[in-house]
Amino acid sequence: MTAFPASQMIVGAIFLLCLATTVVGALIAALTARIIRSVCGLAICCIGLAGLYYFLHSPFLALMEILIYVGAVCVTIVFAVMLAEPDEPVRDEQRGTSLLWGGVALVVSAAIFWGVWHLGAQQDWTAPVARVSDGSVSAIGKSLLTTYSMAFELISLALLVAIIGALAVARTGRTKP
Amino acid sequence: MNPMPLPDRPEIYFTVAALLLAIGIFGLLRRRTLIGMLISGELIFSAASLNLMAFNRFRAPDPAVGQIFVLFIMGLAAAEIAIALSIIIAVYRNYRSVKTRELSELNG
């Protein structure tokens, strides 16, 4: 028992807040008509997700989630929104067809949710016998530079190719020939 | 009072990850612009990362492996976003639109 018994309740409340932030952010990201609100929803969802990572004993990944997703990915999407005015068009099709497709999408996503939830949460996964490492930042660093050094170098190569490819693709058509 | 505190229950994380995946797929099916579909794809990436992290915390013998895996996912997601956005901008220059309904012609 801890010295301060309400601390567990406070931790639980913060955890529930992170859960709610993640789910509400994802709903905003998927459902709003304006793309800029959708980007903000994605940022909110990623902040909640960073909190969940913190509760999963990996504060380094929580930091990286905020740094990469909120700081880089969302800002990049906002740049594209400024360049390409991508608001959702008003519905020009029949209302019945639109509702039908919405229903189909809802059924498909509900079926996927049920299947994945059933697989993950209802199964009796075996707990590990012993922990090899403690999952700290130094353990991650050692693994990155020993066991996973090949993948580490390959991902830097992939990022380089992505940067060059993005520049090359976005450059074509910029000036009239 | 619960026997186990809330943050130590794996089912909650699995449920949230499944919910994120479902929301992402729903958005992917419903969105009618390329950037909206890209955002939904990011939600699906996040669902995969959360699922991996939950398994890593509760069921893996080496907790560093899942974190490294999720770091790689983040790096690849950033690369994918850069490429996809540059393609979207190139598409917008050609068609003056990023609505998926209007991008229906293939031309070399």
Domains detected in chain B: 8-95 (1.10.287.3510)
Q: In chain A, what residues touch B83 (CB-CB under 8 Å)?
A: 162, 165-166, 169
Find all residues with CB under 8 Å of A77, minimum gap 6, and list them.
A39, A42, B35, B38, B39, B81, B85
CA distance B27 to chain A (A): 5
Q: Which residues of chain A have pLDDT under 70?
A: 1-3, 86-94, 173-177
Lookup result for tokens 């895996």: B69
Report residue B31's pLDDT band, with 50, 70 and 90 as the boundaries. Answer: confident
A36 CB neighbour count, 10 Å cutoff: 15
Of A67, A90, A113, the domain-final residue: A90
Of A64, A90, A116, the domain-final residue: A90
Q: What is the pLDDT of residues A7-28, one digit of tens each?
A: 888 888 999 999 999 999 999 9
CA distance B104 to chain A (A): 16
Number of folded domains that form chain A: 2
A76 plus A156 within the same structural domain: no
Q: What is the pLDDT of residues A26-57, one digit of tens each?
A: 999 998 888 899 999 999 999 999 999 999 98
User: Residue A109: phi, psi to the nearest 5?
Assistant: -70, -35
Q: Is residue A101 part of a domain?
A: no
Enter the pTM of the model. 0.88
Instruction: Read off the pLDDT of each residue in B7-32 and give the average, rounded to a whole number.
Output: 89
**Percent of chain B scoring above 70 in pLDDT:** 95
Q: In chain A, what residues touch B37 (CB-CB under 8 Å)?
A: none
**Cα B33–chain centre separation:** 17
Domain span at A58: 1-90
- What is each CA distance from A5 to A1, A15, A57, B2, B71, in whole angstroms? 7, 17, 22, 14, 36
Which tops the pLDDT comparison, B3 or A100?
A100
Which tops the pLDDT comparison, B6 or B91?
B91
**Percent of chain B scoring above 90 in pLDDT:** 43
In this prediction, residue B108 carries a pLDDT of 58
What's the rounded Cα separation, in Å, for the pair A90 and A109?
23
In this prediction, residue A20 carries a pLDDT of 95
Query: Chain B within 8 Å of A160 (Cβ-Cβ)?
Result: no
A69 plus A141 within the same structural domain: no
Of A55, A90, A125, the domain-final residue: A90
CB-CB: which of B6, B22, B90 is closest to A109?
B22
